[in-house]
Chain A
């Protein structure tokens, strides 16, 4: 058995094992609550009589309604802008 073969016999399993160990992504442990990504819905390919399509539509419509309501609730006239904040700090 020449040196090259011996090195290959040692290095190949070592590299394979170390790559397997480093391939583990710690992010896999974290489960985040995500919002539905409705931008990826392709309406042209959807059968609107299918319960899956109906459920997706329902969820996305609910999400859009909620976003609209949140936007409407925001009253910009009552919000402090950057400039006014700066002025306030100058007074003190």
Chain B
């Protein structure tokens, strides 16, 4: 009986502590104030494992068709490059101001710190899922609400080649017709 009482007291205390944190306003939500290492690690692990699990059964289509690079390139330039940058660009207002900082997708996978990318198919699955569904409280929108799967796969195909593109190649591929 005393064990049950102790458990109830512990639960009540935990709930009170949580509510105090929520209602007191002591948590700083400013994007220019980074999380502590532990909080950052917890959030990153949660995000990476969630995406890995959700994307594991996605079938990756053939992404070598040059037409995909043209469709995906234009979409990348207008929807993604302001945060994820273009070849030769080091930073933008969005890449500096957003927290967590959006990854620089012009760099090869090894250039992103913190998490693994897996093989080519796994990376494509992950990109597709993230573009389609977005990521909560990160600034990454769910483009799947306004773009069909074919269009998203074209962006994935473009992302695959993006780190290898020169400024000139990028300009041609992303320019409008």
Q: Which residues of A contact B (CB under 8 A)?
A: 24, 28-29, 31, 33-38, 40-41, 51-52, 54-56, 58-60, 62-63, 66
Contact = CB atoms under 8 A, between A and B. Distances in A.
A84 to B, nearest CB: 35
B173 A52 contact: yes
A36 B67 contact: no
Given A28-B92, A28-B93, A29-B93, A54 B66 contact: yes
Interface of B: 64-70, 73, 77-78, 82, 92-93, 161, 164-165, 168-169, 171-173, 175-177
A40 B173 CA distance: 12
Contact of B70 (A33, A38, A40, A55): A55
Contacts of B161: 51-52
A55 B69 contact: yes
B22 to A, nearest CB: 36
Contacts of A59: 70, 172-173, 175, 177
Nearest to A25: B93
Contacts of B176: 33-35
B177 A62 contact: yes
A22 to B, nearest CB: 15
B165 A66 contact: no
A62 B171 CA distance: 15
Contacts of B165: 52
Given A35-B175, A59-B173, A59-B177, A52 B93 contact: no
Contacts of A28: 92-93
A31 B65 contact: no
B82 to A, nearest CB: 7
Contacts of A35: 175-176
